[in-house]
C-alpha cells in the first residue's frame, strides 16, 4: 500500500483556515457523504472556538443520522503479554525482563470469556503480544473454544500482522473484525519507536490490512497511537489508509480507534507529542465526518467524563470494565499493556450512556448475518443502517435487562428502551414489538 507521505505532511502543516472556507467544508460534511483528505485537513486545522463547536455539533448529528443514538459496548480480553518487540511505549516490550508474564491456557481464556459473559458482554476483542510461541494456532484455538464453550456471540481479534495464509486460517476460526494499529504512520518516528522485533518492519505492518481483505476479512480496524507524532499527520494518514482500502476493496476501515498514549511499565515517561482533550475531540469529529461508515472507538484509556463528551462528537463504540493484562477478569496480577482511566463496571457505563440521552447496545448482528465489508459500507453510506442499529440496540438492551440487570437499574433501562422504541423505523416497529414479546417469553439472541 502506498501512502503519499509528502502530501500528508503538507496538509498536516496547514495554517488555520478562513471562516468561510471552514464553514464550506462543514456544510459538505453535514451531508454525511464523507470528505476528501484536503477537506479533512482543513477541519483539523480549526482553532477558533465557535468553529470547533460547529464541528462538534455537526459530527454528533452525522453520527446519529448514520448509526442512530446507539453506542456499542465491548470488552478486551488479553491472551498473552509475552512479546518479542521492543516498542518503547508499551508495557509488553521485550526489554521489560523482570516483570510477571503470562499466557493464558485455552481453558483460562474460556474462563475469562465466561466472566465477561456473566457481566452481560456478547462481544469480545482478543488481544495478544507478538511471540511465535503463542501464535496463530494458539489464537485460533482460543477463538474456537470461546465460541464453543462460553455463549460469546462474536470474537474480534487484535493480533500481530500475519501473512495471507495465516490470516485466512484466523478468519476460518470465526474471527470477526481483524484489528492492527500502525501506531504512527510517520516513518522516521516509527523507526525510533520500534527499534527491535518483527514490528520494526513498517511496510509489513501497513500492508496487513490488504492481506486481511485478501484473506476474507470484510471488516478491519485501524488506528494511530496518538501522542507518538503530530496528531494531525497521523489522523490524516489514518483517513488516507481507509480511503485506500475503499478504493481497492470497496469498504472503508470498519473501525478507527483513537488511543491516546498512556503510561506503561518501563515505557515512555511522557508523550513526545501531547494531544489535548480539545484536540482529541477534534480528531474524533473529523474521523466521523471523513469516514461516516466507520465505528469510532474510545477506550478506557480516557476518563469517564471525557468519554461521555466523545460519544456526542462522533464516537460510536466504548470498551467497558477493561483489564489490560492476561487473567485480569479473574483478578490475577500480571503485566499490563497500559494503565486505564475509566474503571467503571458494564452497568455503570450503560447507565452513563442512558444519562447522556443515548442508547447502549450489545449488538453483534452484522458480523453474523454477513452485513460486512462493502455491503456494510454501502448500506451505511446510503443511510440504511440506522434502522437496524436502533432496533438491535433496543433488543439487546432488553435482553440485558431481563438476564443481568439488578433491580436498582431496571427502571432506568426500561425507560431507555421505551425512548428507543420511539426512534425505531415505523416499517419495523411492529416486528420489533413482537420480538420484544418473544424475549419476555424466554427467547434470546433476536435481531434484525
Total domain count for the chain? Answer: 3
Both 411 and 355 in a single domain? no
pTM of the predicted model as reported, rounded to 2 decimal places: 0.97
Confidence of residue 63 (pLDDT cuts 50, 70, 90): very high
Residue 423 pLDDT > 80: yes
Residues 303, 287, single domain; the answer is yes
Q: Within this chain, do residues 52 and 103 fall inside the same structural domain, yes or no?
A: no
| 3-state secondary structure labels for all residues of the chain | CCCCHHHHHHHHCCCCCCHHHHHHHHHHHCCCCCCCHHHHHHHHCCCCHHHHHHHHHHHHHHHHHHHCCEEEEEEEEEEECCCCCCCCCCCCCCCCCCCCCCECCHHHHHHHHHHHHHHCCCEEEEEECCCHHHCHHHHHHHHHHHHHHHCCCEEEEECCCCCHHHHHHHHHCCCCCEECCCECCCHHHHHHHCCCCHHHCHHHHHCHHHHHHHCCCCCEEECECECCCCHHHHHHHHHHHHHHHHHHHCCCCCEEECCECCCCCCCCCCCCCCCCHHHHHHHHHHHHHHCCCCEEEECCCCCHHHHHHHCCCCCCEEECCCCCCCCHHHCCCCCCCCCCCCCCCHHHHHHHHHHCCCEEECCCHHHHHCCCHHHHHHHHHCCCCHHHHHHHHHHHHHHHHHHCCCHHHHHHHHHHHHHHHHCCCHHHHHHHHHHHHHHHCCCCCCCC
122 and 59 together in one domain: no
Domain end residue (candidates: 64, 97, 121):
64
| Domain assignment present for 147 | yes
Round to whole Å and give the CA distance between 157 and 24.
39
Is it the case that residue 333 has pLDDT exceeding 90?
A: no
Whose CA is closest to 85, among 190, 206, 9, 229?
190
Query: How confident is the model at residue 205, as a pLDDT?
Result: 98
The stretch 25-49 carries a mean pLDDT of 98
Question: Residue 406's pLDDT is what?
Answer: 87
Above 70 in pLDDT, residue 72? yes
Rounded Cα–Cα distance for residues 324 and 81 (Å): 9
Is residue 157 in a domain?
yes
Instruction: State pLDDT tens for residues 82-113.
Output: 999 999 999 899 999 888 899 999 999 999 99
Q: What is the mean pLDDT of residues 214-233?
A: 98
Give domain status of residue 93, yes or no.
yes
Does residue 74 sit in the same domain as residue 59? no
Q: Is residue 2 part of a domain?
A: no
DSSP 331: T
Q: Provide the grid cell at 425.
A: 423505523
Share of the chain above pLDDT 70, in %: 100
Give SS3 for 87.
Answer: coil
Do 325 and 421 belong together in one domain? no
Whether 445 is in a domain gets the answer no
Residues 314 and 420 in one domain: no
Whether 114 and 54 map to the same domain: the answer is no
What pLDDT is recorded for position 266? 63
Residue 1 has pLDDT above 80, yes or no: no
Cβ neighbours for 94, distance < 8 A, ≥ 6 positions apart: 83, 84, 85, 86, 196, 197
Residue where a domain stops, chosen among 31, 64, 97: 64
427 and 409, same structural domain? yes
User: At 308, which CATH number?
Assistant: 3.20.20.70
Same domain, yes or no, for 161 and 253? yes
Mean pLDDT of the chain: 96
pLDDT for res 307 = 98
Tell me if 4 is assigned to some domain: no
Rounded mean pLDDT, 294-322: 98
Choose the final residue of a domain: 64, 88, 103: 64
pLDDT in tens, 345-371: 999 999 999 999 999 999 999 999 999
> Which of left, alpha, beta for 96 (phi over 0: left; psi -120 to 50: alpha)?
beta
Name which residue leads in pLDDT, 294 or 263: 294
Does residue 265 carry a pLDDT above 80? no
Domain containing 210 equals 69-370
| 433 pLDDT more than 70 | yes
Could you tell me if 290 and 407 lie in one domain?
no
pLDDT cut 90: percent of the chain above it = 93
| 151 and 239 inside one domain | yes
Question: In this structure, is residue 130 part of a structural domain?
Answer: yes
Q: Containing H/E element for 70?
A: strand 70-80
- Is residue 270 predicted with pLDDT exceeding 90? no
Tell me what percent of the chain is helix, strand and coil, each rounded to the nearest 5.
50, 10, 40
Banded pLDDT at 418 (limits 50, 70, 90): very high
Closest by alpha carbon to 143, among 165, 164, 128? 128
pLDDT digits (tens, 9 = 90+) for 115-144: 999 999 999 999 999 999 999 999 999 999
Work out the average pLDDT over 327-346: 91
For residues 328-333, give the mean pLDDT. Answer: 91
Question: Is 315 contained in some domain?
Answer: yes
Amino acid at each position: 500500500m502506498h501512502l503519499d507521505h509528502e502530501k500528508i505532511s503538507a496538509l498536516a502543516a496547514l495554517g488555520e483556515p478562513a471562516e468561510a472556507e471552514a464553514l464550506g467544508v462543514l456544510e459538505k460534511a453535514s451531508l454525511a457523504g464523507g470528505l476528501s483528505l484536503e477537506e479533512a485537513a482543513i477541519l483539523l486545522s480549526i482553532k477558533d472556538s465557535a468553529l470547533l463547536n460547529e464541528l462538534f455539533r455537526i459530527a454528533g448529528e452525522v453520527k446519529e443520522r448514520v448509526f442512530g443514538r446507539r453506542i456499542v459496548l465491548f470488552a478486551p480480553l488479553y491472551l498473552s503479554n509475552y512479546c518479542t518487540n521492543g516498542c518503547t511505549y508499551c508495557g509488553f516490550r521485550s526489554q521489560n525482563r523482570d516483570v510477571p508474564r503470562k499466557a493464558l491456557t485455552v481453558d483460562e481464556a474460556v474462563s475469562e470469556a465466561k466472566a465477561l459473559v456473566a457481566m452481560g458482554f456478547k462481544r469480545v476483542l482478543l488481544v495478544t503480544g507478538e511471540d511465535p510461541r503463542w501464535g496463530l494456532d494458539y489464537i485460533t484455538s482460543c477463538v474456537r473454544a470461546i465460541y464453543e464453550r462460553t455463549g460469546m456471540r462474536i470474537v474480534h481479534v487484535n493480533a500481530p500482522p500475519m501473512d495471507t495464509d495465516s490470516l485466512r486460517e484466523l478468519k476460518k476460526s470465526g474471527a470477526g473484525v481483524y484489528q492492527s494499529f500502525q501506531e504512527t504512520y510517520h516513518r522516521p518516528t516509527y523507526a525510533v519507536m520500534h527499534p527491535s522485533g518483527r514490528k520494526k518492519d513498517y511496510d509489513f505492518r501497513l500492508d496487513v490490512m490488504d492481506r486481511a481483505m485478501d484473506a476474507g476479512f470484510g471488516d478491519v480496524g485501524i488506528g494511530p497511537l496518538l501522542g507518538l507524532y503530530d496528531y494531525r499527520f497521523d489522523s490524516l494518514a489514518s483517513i488516507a489508509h481507509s480511503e485506500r482500502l475503499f478504493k481497492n476493496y470497496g469498504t472503508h476501515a470498519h473501525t478507527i480507534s483513537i488511543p491516546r498514549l498512556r503510561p506503561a511499565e518501563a515505557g515512555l515517561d511522557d508523550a513526545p507529542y501531547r494531544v489535548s482533550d480539545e484536540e482529541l475531540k477534534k480528531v474524533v469529529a473529523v474521523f466521523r465526518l471523513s469516514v461516516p461508515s466507520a465505528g469510532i472507538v474510545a477506550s478506557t484509556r480516557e476518563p469517564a467524563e471525557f468519554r461521555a463528551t466523545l460519544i456526542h462528537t462522533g464516537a460510536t463504540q466504548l470498551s467497558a470494565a477493561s483489564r489490560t493484562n492476561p487473567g485480569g477478569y479473574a483478578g490475577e496480577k500480571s503485566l499490563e499493556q497500559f494503565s486505564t482511566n475509566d474503571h467503571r463496571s458494564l452497568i455503570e457505563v450503560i447507565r452513563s450512556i442512558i444519562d447522556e440521552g443515548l442508547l447502549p447496545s450489545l449488538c453483534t448482528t452484522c458480523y453474523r448475518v454477513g452485513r460486512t465489508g462493502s455491503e456494510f459500507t454501502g448500506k451505511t453510506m446510503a443511510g440504511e443502517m440506522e434502522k437496524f442499529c436502533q432496533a438491535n440496540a433496543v433488543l439487546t438492551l432488553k435482553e440485558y435487562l431481563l438476564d443481568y440487570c439488578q433491580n436498582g437499574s431496571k427502571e432506568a433501562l426500561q425507560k431507555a428502551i421505551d425512548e428507543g422504541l420511539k426512534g425505531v423505523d415505523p416499517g419495523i416497529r411492529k416486528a420489533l414489538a413482537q420480538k420484544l414479546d418473544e424475549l419476555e417469553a424466554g427467547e434470546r439472541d433476536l435481531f434484525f
